[in-house]
Amino acid sequence: MDITVLGIDLGKTVCSLAGLDASGAVIFRKRIQRFRLLDFLAELPACIVAMEACGGAHHIGRFCLQHGHEPRLMSPLYVRPYVKVHKNDDRDAEAIAEAATRPTMSFVAIKSEEQLDLQALHRARERLVSDRTRLINQGRGFLMERGIRVGTGRHVFQKELTRLAAGGTVDLSHRIVLMLSDMATELADINRRVAAIDAEIKELAKTNADMRRLMEIPGVGPTIASALVAAVGTGSSFGKGRDLAAWLGLVPRQITTAGKAKLIGISKHGNRYLRKLFIHGARTVLHLVRDRTSPITRWADGLKERAHVNVATVAMANKLARIAWAVLTKGERYRAAALVGS
């Protein structure tokens, strides 16, 4: 049995395997307990091991590299068209194996443990920020129902919440004052935890050469730099900066029919969290950077004059992503005059 490509449909407890020979015919089918999968791969002769990029796939991919295999991870969206007739685990494994052989297939780069650790930091931070936003919105609702309107901004709300929780008004019941006090305590704890993660990210960014170079780009700070490195590593899986921008969903959606092309908004594909960060960075360059004499800020000012502010923001985010790709892949420092026109 000479398996050229092994497709694995990963399950929580049971995995389905399908092996293809050099001609693409299915010559092997097997179901195996997940805890036995690594032992099976260790004994398997070197081949292409294909999986969907789901939970645990990067760990298995690194194991495959250590044992001479060529791991290929793919988005489940790209595998689905290769499933024939009705969907089941065995057919999924065959579809994964077949999809991995296609010359136009896009593969997901294997993440290192350091990248996954950094990604976990960002996931934890994102969850805490989301919890904080929900808490603030709930508190605003409670106060609005009692005729108290709080000004815009997180810091304004937190200051007012602290005052009300300390009994700053006689119009609130004892029960709601206790609830506001609990909310103030919870909000302070979330702020402390977010600040701790931010401090850790800043320290990591200082010690990583790629992140230090990225932070020289206007609008790119430790959060964006570390999130980008966690997501794409050195960026080598993208052939050009435009590919990275498209992967982030920062390019227009295109609908072409009868030879006529129509562009309708951005695609919003890919990493939503990273896209959001680049949008925030773009707003900084457009509105907050004081030095308006550099090439990129002059380009931004011209963009604002001829386009709507939201269009200009997305265009700037696209530009920043492409510049970041160039800095990562070329291993060079940011050079404004050279990169702004890229």
* Euclidean distance between CA atoms 24 and 5, whole angstroms: 8
Q: What is the pTM of this model?
A: 0.86
Q: Report which secondary-structure segment, H or E, holds 50.
A: strand 48-52
pLDDT at 297: 83
pLDDT at 277: 96
| Segments in the chain forming alpha helices (H) | 34-43, 57-66, 76-79, 89-100, 113-144, 154-165, 174-207, 209-214, 222-232, 241-247, 272-283, 295-306, 309-330, 336-339
pLDDT at 131: 97
Nearest-Å Rg of the Cα atoms of the chain is 25
Among 274, 267, 280, CA closest to 228: 274
pLDDT at 265: 79
Classify burial at 320, counting beta carbons within 10 Å of its beta carbon; exposed 0-12, middle 13-18, buried 19 or more: buried
- The list of the chain residues with pLDDT below 50 reads 339-342
The per-residue pLDDT for range 91-113, each reduced to its tens digit, is 999 999 999 999 999 999 999 99
Q: What is the DSSP letter of 18?
A: E
CATH number attached to the domain at 5-100: 3.30.420.140
pLDDT at 263: 77
Token pair 């490509």: residue: 5
Domain assignments of the chain as residue spans, ordered by start? 5-100, 114-207, 212-339
Contacts of residue 116, Cβ cutoff 8 Å, sequence gap at least 6: 58, 230
Classify burial at 290, counting beta carbons within 10 Å of its beta carbon; exposed 0-12, middle 13-18, buried 19 or more: exposed
pLDDT at 283: 92
pLDDT at 337: 61
**Neighbour count for residue 297 (Cβ, 10 Å):** 19
The per-residue pLDDT for range 187-201, each reduced to its tens digit, is 999 999 999 999 999
Q: For residue 293, which amino acid is it?
A: T
% residues pLDDT > 90 (the chain)? 72
b/e sequence 24-45, b meaning 16+ C-beta within 10 Å = eeeebeeebeeeebeeebeebe
